[in-house]
């Protein structure tokens, strides 16, 4: 039996020596050391031996098994290391290769302009209204009625409103001024809010007009608010947005929801005030409408005009962006031509 063991041992050793992979080693292990392997077959016969032989043969069998395990493990480690090295070599990363260029998007110029205007007005004490107080699909009640624009008022036509078939009196808002009503119906003075957003008008599209554009509405209602406060806030806004060197003027105007009303112009950026196509020869460009909140509007929302006064303003975001960056066609904002967009 000893001789049998020695024979299997040397067979196993030569099988290990012939192995060229971890797979081969697994096969060797199965052949000799598994439950059905050759050693186990022999061990089964141990019971037929004398006690003396059991001990010596058993000890030999154990030693051989141990040696084989060690030999297998040593070979296994060797193969593992070689296979790992080969894999690492294959997957090696060349850190000196130039990286892959990932193009980065940019903030749209209108978003950037809106953010800038909003942050200037925030620095002057205004906060942005909740989204639900500034819906784009609006009722005539908010877009017109409560802003002192009765149904037969020509202003409804002036603004070329888009009416919808969703329900009677539902429109795409033609101005952000409706946000004033939403806020005043919900909140008592002091109120100092702004509301940026998109508005829609049924216009013929050209270099100066699109059928949707963006406005930022402002409203300040409290005790003792005067036209002087309005001028102070707007002049400060314009000074920060355009820089101190750009002349501005307040011009008397009319809006149904403000009394008195004004329009604010800045000197034409294209011609520096000499008069050109962009400013229709006047040297000035209108950037916003404003005024003292009409007492009728305050009354409508249950604010006593004898106690409170307020001012409101609405500015066009495209207009302000075009003036600052000398853009001469409003349609450029919406064509999404990367060559235009990436300049900002």
Q: Which of 138, 217, 265, 318 binds ligand DAH (CB under 6 A)?
A: 217
223-262 binders of ligand DAH (CB under 6 A)? 255, 258
Query: In this structure, what DSSP letter does residue 282 have?
Result: S
How far apart (Å, rounded) are the C-alpha atoms in residues 246 and 53?
A: 113
177 scored as a contact of ligand DAH (CB under 6 A):
yes
How far apart (Å, rounded) are the C-alpha atoms in residues 105 and 76?
A: 52
- Quote the distance between the C-alpha of residue 267 and its chain's center: 35
How far apart (Å, rounded) are the C-alpha atoms in residues 285 and 251?
A: 11
313-332 binders of ligand DAH (CB under 6 A)? 313-314
Dihedral sign of CA atoms 116, 119, 123, 129 in order: positive
Q: Which one of 26-34, 57-65, 116-124, 286-294 is the stretch in contact with ligand DAH (CB under 6 A)?
A: 286-294
Q: Which is nearer to ligand DAH, 5 or 317 (CB)?
A: 317
Q: Which of 140, 291, 309, 310 binds ligand DAH (CB under 6 A)?
A: 291
How far apart (Å, rounded) are the C-alpha atoms in residues 198 and 173?
A: 8
Q: Which one of 15-23, 71-79, 112-120, 285-293 is the stretch in contact with ligand DAH (CB under 6 A)?
A: 285-293
Q: Which is nearer to ligand DAH, 197 or 314 (CB)?
A: 314
296-315 binders of ligand DAH (CB under 6 A)? 312-314
Q: Which is nearer to ligand DAH, 38 or 138 (CB)?
A: 138
| DSSP calls for 57-120 | HHHHHHHHHHHHHHHHHHHHHHHHHHHHHHHHHHT---TTSPPPP-------HHHHHHHHHHHH
3-class DSSP state of 196? strand
How many other β-carbons are positioned within 10 Å of the β-carbon of residue 267? 19
**Least separation in angstroms between CB 184 and ligand DAH:** 12
134-173 binders of ligand DAH (CB under 6 A)? none
Q: Which is nearer to ligand DAH, 37 or 196 (CB)?
A: 196
Q: Which one of 93-101, 135-143, 206-214, 283-291 is the stretch in contact with ligand DAH (CB under 6 A)?
A: 283-291
Q: Which one of 8-16, 269-277, 288-296, 321-329 is the stretch in contact with ligand DAH (CB under 6 A)?
A: 288-296
End-to-end C-alpha distance for the chain, whole angstroms: 91
Consecutive H or E run containing 32: helix 22-33
**Least separation in angstroms between CB 104 and ligand DAH:** 35
Q: Which is nearer to ligand DAH, 28 or 191 (CB)?
A: 191
289 scored as a contact of ligand DAH (CB under 6 A):
yes
Which of these, 139, 162, 175, lies nearest to 256 by C-alpha position?
175
**Least separation in angstroms between CB 251 and ligand DAH:** 12
How far apart (Å, rounded) are the C-alpha atoms in residues 122 and 118?
A: 6
CB 79 within 8 A of CB 25: yes
Applying CB under 6 A, the residues found at the interface with ligand DAH are: 175, 177, 217, 255, 258, 289-291, 312-314
């Amino acid at each position: 039996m000893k001789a049998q063991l020695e024979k299997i041992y040397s067979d196993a050793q030569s099988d290990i020596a012939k192995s060229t992979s971890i797979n081969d080693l697994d096969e060797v292990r199965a052949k000799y050391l598994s439950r059905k392997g050759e050693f186990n077959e022999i061990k089964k016969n141990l019971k037929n031996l004398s006690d003396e032989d059991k001990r010596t043969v058993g000890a030999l069998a154990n030693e051989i098994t141990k040696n084989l395990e060690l030999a297998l493990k040593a070979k296994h480690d060797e193969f593992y290391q070689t296979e790992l090295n080969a894999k690492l070599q294959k997957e090696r990363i060349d850190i000196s290769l130039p990286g892959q260029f990932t193009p980065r998007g940019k903030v749209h110029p209108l978003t950037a302009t809106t953010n800038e205007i909003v942050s200037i007005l925030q620095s002057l004490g205004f906060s942005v209204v909740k989204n639900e107080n500034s819906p784009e699909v609006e009722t005539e009640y908010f877009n017109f009625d409560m802003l002192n624009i009765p149904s037969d008022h020509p202003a409804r036509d002036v603004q070329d409103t888009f009416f919808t078939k969703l329900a009677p009196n539902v429109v795409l808002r033609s101005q952000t001024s409706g946000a004033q009503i939403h806020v005043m119906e919900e909140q008592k003075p002091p109120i100092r809010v702004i509301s940026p957003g998109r508005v829609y008008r049924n216009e013929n599209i050209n270099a100066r007009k699109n059928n949707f554009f963006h406005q930022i509405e402002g409203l300040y209602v409290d005790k003792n608010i005067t036209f002087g406060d309005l001028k102070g806030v707007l002049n400060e806004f314009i000074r920060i947005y355009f820089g101190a060197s750009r002349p501005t003027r307040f011009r008397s105007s009319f809006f149904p929801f403000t009394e008195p009303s004004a329009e604010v112009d800045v000197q034409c950026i294209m011609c520096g005030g000499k008069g050109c196509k962009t400013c229709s020869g006047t040297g000035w460009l209108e950037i916003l409408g404003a005024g003292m909140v009409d007492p009728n509007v305050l009354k409508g929302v249950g604010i006593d005009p004898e106690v409170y006064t307020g001012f409101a303003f609405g500015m066009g975001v495209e207009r302000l962006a075009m003036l600052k960056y000398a853009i001469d066609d409003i349609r450029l904002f919406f064509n999404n031509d990367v060559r235009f967009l990436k300049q900002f």
